[in-house]
Structure 1
Amino acid sequence: MTSTAENPRSDLSTFRALARLYPFARPVVGRLSLGLVSALLASLAALAIPLVLEQIVAGPIATGDPGQITWGAVAILVLGLIEAALVWARRWFVLSPATKVEYDLRTSFYARLQRLPVSFHDRWQSGQLLSRMMQDISMLRRWLAFGLVLLIVNLLTILIGMALLFSWHWALGLTFLICCAPLWYSGYRFEKTYGALTRQSQDQAGDLATSVEESVHGIRVLKAFGRGAHALRKFTRQAETLRETEIDKARSVGWIWFWLVLLPGVAFALCLGVGIVLVQLGQLGIPALVAFFAMATVLRWPMESIGFLFSFLLDARTATDRLFEVFDEENTIVDPENPVTIAYPRGALVFEDVHFRYPDAAASERDLVDGVDLVLRPGETMALVGLTGCGKTTLTTLPTRLYDVTAGRVTLDGVDIRDLTLDELRTHIGMAFEDATLFSQTVRENVLLGREELEAGSAEADEVLREALAVAQAAFVYDLPDGVETVIGEEGMSLSGGQRQRLALARAVAARPAVLVLDDPLSALDVDTEALVEDALREVMASTTALIVAHRPSTVTLADRVALMEAGRVTAVGTHAELLATSDHYRYVISSLEGEQARMREREVNL
């Protein structure tokens, strides 16, 4: 699983890293620019107040004309109102575009997760993906609406303000600049430290989210084994590690704030001394000195905010890096450039010298699927049997391209499945897994998941649903509080294992594929229910090609032929009777399955 150590910060500069967001921000650049202009005009209005104040001190106050003083006060009031209106306009311009970018990022990220192969999800922790989907994208929205605009505007405000400070007297401006120069060095040091801590913190938050998710999903196991305290200790260690990282971040931010508050104060004191000397020497007037300090006061907030905005910038850069780690993942299972279409699939499924191994497997390890040749004729039911670890389940993942073969090919009606689009392929081939996964939707929506072309509530949809539930012996759903409209809890954990498997089987049957791949879909059923399901399945599979992983002898009886797997290879194919007569290993496998089924019957009797 992907961990924090495996996700270093990208080598791109902060600007180039954040520039990768531009395709998402392009449609709203206009409004964001208007927000930027509004914020800049607001800052210019604030910078104009010291200039007006200088004229008031030089004129009305010096002459004692109360009428002119009133007009000066009105001018300052108007500038303040203009600044407030422009600040409101800035927020109005940027909030909607920022949420649009957030929406586009989130939907694109989710779509990317759906398209990436199963091998990607095998490697990545769900909590890491969840933290990127929720926390990082929300952070980028706040940065676009607030951090980016204010960082640019405040930097421009500082530059314009510094130019005005020099315009009153170069000595005052130079003193102020020299006192504030260490801020740039502190900022450089801050980026080095804070950037690494931010990445570490966000990755640790993802790990923590994974722990929470695992504990919630496995709460029954933790309670059954009395391991709640153990899970809490593990969680506490992770939470403490995150807390320490956050404290380190706070120290780093506190250090930059120390300089941001201290240095302007020192600059004020020194500039006051220099200003008094310049006034005494006659090189500077009192109105200019008053305006200088008014301008310095206006600049204090932009200068103090730079530390916060700079840390916000680094947070956004880290969030961008984390998002694009997923966007940049190579998708090895994609649609072909020139897809082929099978208009009327017959269901002939053929494995031709098929090999498969995981990319990270050691060179010395054998292929999990090691040269399988197997032919399923249209309408035929093939049972796949073998000892645990022989490669049965791995083989069943290849026809739907959950994984791609590493050598050889799988064909459907003579067409390499890699020449079909994924949507078409998975319309023609349906699957039911041993570990049944249901969604937090109604029973109807779960069962009809593969039939999106059916209109909700239509007579045809109701008929397909009724038939699928009947085949899977899932009439229990009609006794649920709202029948087939009952919303199943998260992952269907409110149902028993057998109930979940029956609904998953109904889902596969409802899809009405040309080929049905069943990975031991009846393992959680009691023997009597299994017999009923098998009888119903015989009718379905009379017109459907089926590949069934069999862990019970009774399941083998569903098949027209049986394929025996050993160490990743199909070593024998024939009817059940033929293999019993010719294969010692097959007899051993069947006796093992019979022993397991006998033990299951005994447990049911005892219960």
Structure 2
Amino acid sequence: MTDRSSTRSLLRLWPYVRPVRTRLCVAALVAVVASCLGLVISLVLKWIVDGPVAGRDPGGVWWGALALLVLGLAEAALFGLRRWLVARPLAGVESAMRADLYRHVQRLPIAFHDRWASGQLLSRATTDLSLIRMFLAFPLTFLFVNGVTVLVGCGLLLAQDWALGLVLLVPVVPLIVLCSLFETRYALVARRAQDQVGDLTTVVEESVLGIRVIKGFGRHRSQAAAFRALSRRLRGTELAKARLLAGIWAVITIVPELAIGAALVLGTVRVADGGLSAGTLVAFLSMALALRWPVESIGFLLAMSQEAATAVERFFEVMDEAEEDGGGAGGGGSVAGRSGGLRFENVTFRYPDAPPDAPPVLAGVDLWVRPGETLALVGATGSGKTTLTALVPRLHEVTGGRILLDGVDVAAMPRQRLRELVSVAFEEPTLFSASVAENVLMGAEGADDAELRRALGVAQAGFVRELPQGAATQVGEQGLSLSGGQRQRLALARAVVGRPRFLVLDDPLSALDVHTEALVEAALREVLRETTALVVAHRPSTVMLADRVALLSRGRIAAVGTHRELLRDSAEYAWLMSGAETGTGGRG
């Protein structure tokens, strides 16, 4: 970990490690004692050879063997204790980091999720956090333990015989240089591999969620080809990592072996000349062999450390993204007169990733939905209807102007209060891997079974009673076990279950057949009488739910009036309602 940037990255783990620092330090000290016991074994061997063996004392040999057995058992027990000490706290560190990441992702703005592939987030929450936990459990401890062991061992070697000790210390400088070069190159390759894992995860997730489209269009071969291409790219990167690791491991293994061989030859000559005792040579060589693993493991430990450092960088790339601000301290109190209801004042919006010279999606929108009124929003594809509705609950932030709820700027409201006042239903309904009841009641914390039944009734979701376990039936991932119309009705039920003061519906009936649509509209009229609603509409039947209609054209409100008035006065509105423009989608 000589690379400063890697060290800085790893130091960012300190807030998570601090609560368990005592246990980790105790585990490191236990490991140091255990590792140094291996060096003591060499001193016992010296005593056996120079003492009982040289003096032909079998009893002494047995006492020496017993001492070696005790030392070996103590070393094994201490290493086992170290693992027990770190297992639980490090599992807690990983859990805390994963919980923080999930909580943070939930609070990031929609613009962030528009930019980031879901697979990249998944790989950070799974693979990267596992790498970090492994680093804290093994390399972090053993870089310290092995370093202390090597220093103590070198001191003992020099104390045994300084000449032989210097022979073994000669390779230290070139090994340090090689390890530094290895770290630099390995860090780049490790980061590339982890990013490619995220790309591969994205493809797998999209293929699973879009399996109906893939099968429907017979695109399994092209998807498989795309997956193989990414897999080959990742395989190449992993092989590059393996080559680097193999190279440093070979060097770290060969150089000390050559040094030990040279020390063996020199030591044997000196024993033959009487300048060195046999016990000292045995102790020296056994100690040198005991130090082989601490030295040879350096490459492996540095590789794991670099992978952990890049994992930490990737984790904090997400954590450093700014969350949605909580809003001001303003409440949702009502203001009398024309300030009540839902009001857009000179609202302008441009997507953060839009080119600087691109025109804004919304350019000076002025619109007033009176208290208790339902206003239909109509416009061609790409006119900005969905974008305008997303600004009300602050899924996106306005670029200019302001939006008022009962006279209070939504930007000044705490988000929790805002989303208690405003309920939304999107054109593309999203359901979660939970029961029908849990999906619907997400729209109102604390709602009871009576409210659930009422909401399902409004949405004409009688099909729920026919499910195997009724409202307790699990709908599966994305709710794909249900039809599009069923999913849309549950999303509508979720929007109305809490009796919101403001209701924003983005073409909520597009997936319903004409008979079900008529039933839902009849029930929805009763709900709309109790709320102030903005409804994106593409069909005349949905428009008829509204008291007034606003025509959005090229990012501006072109006309406002009743359905009849706009049919008479606006050629664009008449053309849209004639069915010549019925498409939806995109950011419109």
TM-score scaled by structure 1? Answer: 0.93
Q: Which amino acid aligns with 2:455?
A: A
1:339 pairs with one of 307, 310, 329: 329
Pick from 358, 373, 376: which aligns with 1:365? 358
Question: Where does residue 547 of structure 1 map in the other structure?
Answer: 534
Q: CA deviation at 1:370?
A: 0.6
Cα distance per residue 1:105-150 (max 9 Å; x no partner): 0000000100000110000000111011011111111211122112
Q: Which residue does 1:472 correspond to in 2?
A: 459
Query: Counterpart of 1:209 in 2: which secondary structure?
Result: helix
What is the CA deviation profile of residues 243-271 of structure 1, one whole-angstrom value per residue up to 9, with x for unaligned ones? 11111111111111111221121111100
**Residue 463 (str. 1) matches residue 455 (str. 2):** no
Deviation, 1:306, is 1.3
1:182-193 correspondence to structure 2 within 5 Å: 182-193=174-185
TM superposition shift of 1:281: 4.9
Among 33, 43, 53, the alignment partner of 1:41 is 33
Give 1:487's match in structure 2, choosing from 474, 477, 492.
474
Match of 1:22? 14
Q: 1:354 is matched with which residue?
A: 347
Q: Which amino acid aligns with 2:66?
A: V
Partner Cα separation in structure 2 for residue 71 and residue 20 of structure 1 = 50
What CA distance in whole angstroms lies between the structure 1 residues aligned with 2:571 and 2:256? 88
Match of 1:444 in 2: 437
Cα deviations across residues 383-421 of structure 1 (Å, max 9, x unaligned)?
000111111110000010100001111111111111111
Residues 484-522 of structure 1 show CA distances to partners (whole Å, capped at 9, x for unaligned) of 111001101111111110010000011321100000011
Q: Which residue of 2 aligns with 1:100?
A: 92
Matched, 1:421 2:414: yes
Following superposition, the deviation at residue 280 of structure 1 comes to 4.4
1:138-168 Cα offsets, whole Å, 9 max, x none, are 1111211122112210111111111111112
- Report the residue type matching 2:428 in the other structure: D
Distance in 2 between the 1:345 and 1:81 partners? 79
One-letter amino acid matched to 2:325: V
Paired residue secondary structure (2:517): helix
Q: Any conservation in 1 of the 2:333–2:406 contact (CA below 8 Å)?
A: no
1:389 aligns with 2:414: no
Deviation at 1:453, TM superposition (A): 2.3
1:295 maps to: 287
Paired residue for 2:80, among 60, 81, 88?
Answer: 88
Name the SS for the 1:494 alignment partner: coil
Q: Any conservation in 1 of the 2:344–2:402 contact (CA below 8 Å)?
A: yes
1:580-602 CA-partner distances (Å, limit 9, x unpaired): 23222222222236x759xxxxx
Matching residue of 1:164: 156
Unaligned 5+ segments in structure 2 are 584-588
Moved more, 394-403 or 38-47: 38-47
- 1:181 Cα offset (Å): 3.6
What residue identity is the alignment partner of 2:161?
Answer: H
Of 370-379 and 270-279, deviating more is: 270-279
Trace 1:198-597 onto structure 2 (pairs within 5 A).
Answer: 198-331=190-323, 333-336=324-327, 338-342=328-332, 348-454=341-447, 461-592=448-579, 596=582
- Return the letter of the residue paired with 2:269: V
Distance 2:50 2:252 in 1: 32
> Kindly tell me: are residues 463 and 345 of structure 1, through their superposed partners in 2, closer, same or farther at Cα, counting changes over 3 Å?
farther
CA distance in 2, matches of 1:61, 1:535: 103
Distance 1:243 1:365 in 2: 40
Residue aligning to 1:142: 134
Following superposition, the deviation at residue 359 of structure 1 comes to 1.7
Shift of 1:342: 2.2
Which consecutive unaligned segments of at least 5 residues does structure 1 have? 1-10, 455-460, 598-607
Give, in whole Å, the separation in 2 of the partners of 1:110 and 1:246. Answer: 28
Is the alpha carbon distance of 1:344 and 1:512 closer, same or farther for their aligned partners in structure 2, counting shifts above 3 Å?
A: farther
1:180 CA displacement = 4.4
CA contact (8 A) 1:180 1:263 kept: no
Q: Is the 8 A contact 2:347 2:401 kept in 1?
A: yes
CA distance in 2, matches of 1:512, 1:61: 92
Contact 1:350 1:374 (C-alpha < 8 Å) held by counterparts? yes
Q: Are the aligned partners of 1:501 and 1:521 in contact in 2 as well (CA < 8 Å)?
A: yes
Q: CA deviation at 1:362?
A: 1.9
Contact 2:377–2:385 (Cα < 8 Å) also in 1: yes
Using the alignment, how far apart are the partners of 2:334 and 2:516 within structure 1?
34
Offset at residue 373 of structure 1 (A): 0.7
Distance 1:353 1:342 in 2: 21
Superposed CA deviations along residues 166-187 of structure 1, whole A, max 9, x for unmatched, are 1122221111111344322221
The secondary structure found in structure 1 opposite 2:404 is strand
Q: Give the aligned partner of residue 72 of structure 1.
A: 64
Distance 2:334 2:91 in 1: 45
Describe the SS at the equivalent of 1:390. coil
Pairwise CA distance, 1:48: 0.9
Give the equivalent residue in structure 2 for 1:126. Answer: 118
- Residues 345, 428 of structure 1: 8 Å contact kept: no
Percent identity over paired residues:
53
Distance in 2, matches of 1:596 and 1:161, equals 80
Single out whichever of 421-430 and 359-368 deviates more from structure 2: 359-368
1:179–1:266 CA contact under 8 A, matched in 2: no
Q: C-alpha separation between the residues in 2 aligned to 1:210 and 1:94?
A: 33
Shift of 1:467: 0.6
Q: Which amino acid aligns with 2:381?
A: T
Amino acid paired to 1:173: G
Letter in 2 for 1:197: V
Letter in 2 for 1:52: V
1:57 CA drift (Å): 1.7
Equivalent residues of 1:180, 1:267 under 8 A apart = no
With over 3 angstroms needed to count, the CA separation of the structure-2 counterparts of 1:212 and 1:533, relative to structure 1, is same
Cα deviation for residue 321 of structure 1 reads 0.7
Distance 2:331 2:49 in 1: 84
Aligned-residue offset at 1:450 = 2.2
CA distance in 2, matches of 1:441, 1:270: 68
- Give the Å deviation of 1:78: 1.4
For the residue of structure 1 that corresponds to 2:391, the secondary structure is: coil
Change beyond 3 A, Cα 1:29–1:83 = same
Q: Following TM superposition, where does structure 1 have runs of at least 4 consecutive aligned residues deviating by more than 6 angstroms? A: 344-347
Q: Does the CA-based 8 Å contact 2:333-2:408 persist in structure 1?
A: no
| Residue matched to 1:601 | none
Secondary structure of the structure 2 residue equivalent to 1:397: helix
| 1:282 CA displacement | 4.4
Indicate conservation of the 8 Å contact 1:129/1:206, yes or no: yes
Aligned partners of 2:326, 2:401: CA distance in 1, in Å? 18
Residue 506 of structure 1 aligns to which amino acid in structure 2?
A
